[in-house]
Structure 1
C-alpha cells in the first residue's frame, strides 16, 4: 500500500558544495528551477514511471541537511510536470552541527510546508536543532502518520496521509 523512498539527500533543496562560484551540488537539486539537470533527470524518470504506472502511496524520507522540514511537491508549481503530487519529509542527523534551510529548486515544484532550522551555520548540538522523524501506519485505516520531532521527543510537525491520496 505505501511505498517509502528513502534517499540520503532531499530532492528540491539546493545544497551547494565546494568553492564559491563553482556549480557543485551535494544534493539532487542544481539550483536551477528549469528543466531537469545533473542528477535531476534520474528523479524525473522515476517520478514519471510512478505516475504512468499509476503507483499510489509514495512518499520520500530524506536527511543529511542538518535541519527538519516537510515539503509538498506539486506539478502545477514545477518546471517538470509529468508526475503526481507527493510529500518529502526531512530530518537529521542527530548529534551534528545544524544548518539553515537553503533555497528550494523549482524543477519539481516543492513547497516548504514546515521547517525548523537555525539562522546560522554549524550550530552546536548543545544549542538544540537536533531532530528525528517517526512514521506510523494505522492497521485499520491504513493512514500513514509522519511526525517530525525535536531531540527530546517533542512533536514539531504532524502530517497524516490517507491511502490513495498520499500526495494531497
Structure 2
C-alpha cells in the first residue's frame, strides 16, 4: 500500500509521477531498458496481467524523460475473473503512448464485479512464415477489442 506517509518518506511504486529523471524502482527499469538496447536485443514486448483493465501502450524514447532505450510495446490484460479497476495516470518517464484502453468509466466506479462484463484476456500469435507478432486484446465474450501486428526488427 502506497499511502501519503510512504510517499513523504521517499518511497514509491514503479513511477515517480513525472518528477524528472528515474528514481527508486524506475532506476531498475531504466537499467533493464538500457541493457536491452546496449546488448542489441530486438523485438522486446512486455505482457502485463496483474492489472484490472486492458490496454496497449507504445513506449517511445523520443517522448520520454529517460531516453536511453529502444521503443517497445506493452500489452495489458486482466482480470479474467476478479474486480475490475481503472488505470492510474500514465507516467511519462519512459514515454508511454496509449494506443488502446478499455476500463471502467468514472461513472461506473472501481472494483466492479465480473458480472459487469469488464473481464479481459489477450492472445499472442507469431507467424512462422513472416515472424510477425500479432496481439489481440479480448473481452470475456471473445470479442476482439484491439489488434496490432508487429513486424520483426532485424538486427543491424
TM-score (structure 2 length as normaliser): 0.88
Q: Provide the C-alpha distance between the structure 1 equivalents of 2:19 and 2:133, rounded to a whole number of angstroms.
A: 30
Say if 1:33 and 1:106, in contact at 8 Å, map to a contact too: no
- State the partner residue of 2:122: 133
Q: Residue 41 of structure 2: which of 42, 46, 55 is its match?
A: 55
Q: Provide the C-alpha distance between the structure 1 equivalents of 2:27 and 2:131, rounded to a whole number of angstroms.
A: 32
Quick one: higher RCO (CA 8 Å, sep 6+), 1 or 2?
1
Structure number with the higher helix fraction is: 2
Say if 1:97 and 1:125, in contact at 8 Å, map to a contact too: yes
- State the partner residue of 2:110: 121
Say if 1:33 and 1:79, in contact at 8 Å, map to a contact too: no
Aligned length: 148
Higher CA-based Rg:
2
Match status 1:65 vs 2:51: yes
- State the partner residue of 2:142: 153
Give unmatched runs, 5+ long, in structure 1: 1-16
Match status 1:45 vs 2:31: yes
Give unmatched runs, 5+ long, in structure 2: none
- State the partner residue of 1:97: 83
Structural RMSD (CA): 1.6
Q: CA deviation at 1:37?
A: 1.4
TM-score (structure 1 length as normaliser): 0.82
- State the partner residue of 2:21: 35
- State the partner residue of 2:3: 19
